[in-house]
Amino acid sequence: MYGWCGRILRVDLTRGRITTEALDPGIARDWIGGRGFGIHYLRREVPPACDPLGPENKVVLATGPLTGTAAPTGARYVATTRSPLTGAITCSNSGGFFPAELKKSGWDAVIVEGSAPAPVYLWIDGERAELRPAGHFWGKTTHETDDLLRAETHAEAKTAVIGPAGERRVRFAALMNDRDRAAGRAGVGAVFGAKHLKGIAVRGEGEVALADPAAFKAANAAFRGRFKEKTRDNPPPLRLHGTAITVVGTQSHGVFPTRNFREGQFEGWEAIYGETLTRKYLVRPKACFSCPIACGRVTRIPEGPYRGEGEGPEYETVYALGSNCGVDDLAALTKANYLCNELGLDTISMGGAIACAMELFERGLLTEAETGMALRWGDGAALVELTRRTGLREGFGDLLAEGSLRLAARCGAPELAMVAKGLDFAGYDPRGEQGMGLAYATSPIGGSHMRGDPAYFELLGVPVAADPHSWEDKPPLIAKWQDVFCVIDAAGLCVFFSVRYLVEPDLMIRPVGITELLNGATGAGYTPEEVERIGERIFNAERLYILAAGFGRKDDTLPPRILKEPMPSGPAKGLVCRLEEMLGPYYRVRGWSAEGVPTREKLASLGLL
């Protein structure tokens, strides 16, 4: 096989047994890799009603055929499992260098099943793999574990590990690779913790075999050249200021979530946005494997109570731990970000839980006796301390560790959790960005922007422009974009380069450039239409899985604040999200029933019957 390694590593933690399986070429062609492999194996092997923290659940860690190649941003892998936070699936995506190392070691995917009787880690050294005791690593931070694993295996090994939050089964614990890259959403780290798997260390010295090296090189050069043409005179904003530069766009459109989504603009935005981060704390940009962008931030707080160094924060963290909690103290926000990385926490859900708690406290639904401190909007010190307590499940942190929805429901006000399907929203208010509301509501994992991010065309005009306040035109755009994101995730690419240079705007967004690279790598002879259909297959397969897990139209919804409370001020003043008007047309575009169930005709056309 070309592009694909042709091998799957299966790790049975209960029996302590590791086996190798050949990758079926038909499965490879039909699902591409990454997110596609994840849902294929999950549907085949994991009961939809299983306990997410029980031994029946599995984690599929899958690369794509472009992972580990010279394709721009070919640095991604996807961790797919049943989420302990939501009960739906999660297909959490991460970059860095670990995914390429896994691919270069000769594996398309690692399937983790069962539960070890005591803590272990997985050591993959090329074609060899073994489970080793990890009791001496238990309780260590992600950074400490990375250091210790590489000392015990190989200095050049790449790691993906959990911290104390995963060990304690915080429901939004992350799996952290390369120290500060996160497969962060919906609790992959908690599943690792329940399985007593502290992490994976991998070393690979191989190269990804290409079907047509000349064609691949030509396509790759053209796309990278397009990037250079557009950035020759000035470094791109993502390299200069990281994703936190996005604050300028969301603030100006009035969709920058503030104080638990009560408002869409934050008076302290200039204190926490990308240019301020660059000026005050940036050490250097940081790139993932094969990335021409380098949007990562290595930062240092030189003095004061939050002194330290690490990576981040990115835009989603700036929103979640900053404006959403009313915090304009960049040092405190950055320190909380460092703690999330070291303890192994999703920064979005961490911020969502704290913001929800602050509003509950303000309304008198939480007391200081319960929280151990006064929870006030804008309190940076409380933000840092609550993050620490959550990662350790200490005191009130034990309740925060259950996530915002469980916390709010316990207080009798579930409507104050800003979630879809139990997953905290990303940093865009759907009242001023209608397509984002539809994307949150219909995402198979819940309130994620990374399952089809319409901010590109609603706020940035990439690759096509759409009015963020219009809703009539959004159902077909969102459906198409969700399918394209499935392809990006399956191929092993990052959306930051893909949506600008590898996706064409004709026929409402087509993955033409991705198809060229896939064909050069695999020799599969895909057409863009076939690749689009694979994206649609992946999305529909995920829908089938969550339907079998008990989700349905009733769960394709948003909180009352978003649907009924008009935005109080700013460019989106007076607007609510018109979800109900969009949902029926969206289902029809998808070929689903009025209840959101894929029809037999649709399933047959996608080979899912």
What is the layout of strands, in order, in the sheet containing 282-286? Answer: 282-286, 296-301, 308-311
pLDDT at residue 234 greater than cutoff 70: no
Burial category of 507 from C-beta neighbours within 10 Å (exposed 0-12, middle 13-18, buried 19 and up) = exposed
556-581 residue pLDDT tens: 999 999 999 999 999 999 999 999 99
Length of the chain: 609
Cβ-based neighbour number of residue 504 at 10 Å: 16
Give pLDDT, residue 63. Answer: 98
pLDDT at residue 230 greater than cutoff 70: no
The pLDDT-based confidence of 506 (bands split at 50, 70, 90) is confident
Give pLDDT, residue 439. Answer: 98
Structure tokens at 593: 């029933």
CA distance 489 to 39: 12
CA distance 388 to 369: 19
106-133 residue pLDDT tens: 999 999 999 999 999 999 999 999 999 9
Give pLDDT, residue 508. Answer: 76
What are the angstrom distances between the C-alpha of 411 and each of 74, 379, 404, 503, 555?
45, 22, 11, 45, 21
93-118: average pLDDT:
98
404-426: average pLDDT:
98
pLDDT at residue 188 greater than cutoff 70: yes
What are the angstrom distances between the C-alpha of 431 and each of 320, 398, 470, 565, 566?
17, 32, 11, 9, 8
For tokens 């995506």, what's the residue? 93
Give pLDDT, residue 372. Answer: 97
Give pLDDT, residue 125. Answer: 98
CA distance 385 to 203: 36
pLDDT at residue 300 greater than cutoff 80: yes
Mean pLDDT estimate for the chain? 97
Angle, alpha carbons 47-53-55 (nearest 5°): 60
Q: Cα torsion for 586, 593, 52, 190, to the nearest 10°?
A: 0
Give me the domains of the chain, ranges plus CATH numbers.
7-203 (3.60.9.10), 235-417 (1.10.569.10), 424-605 (1.10.599.10)
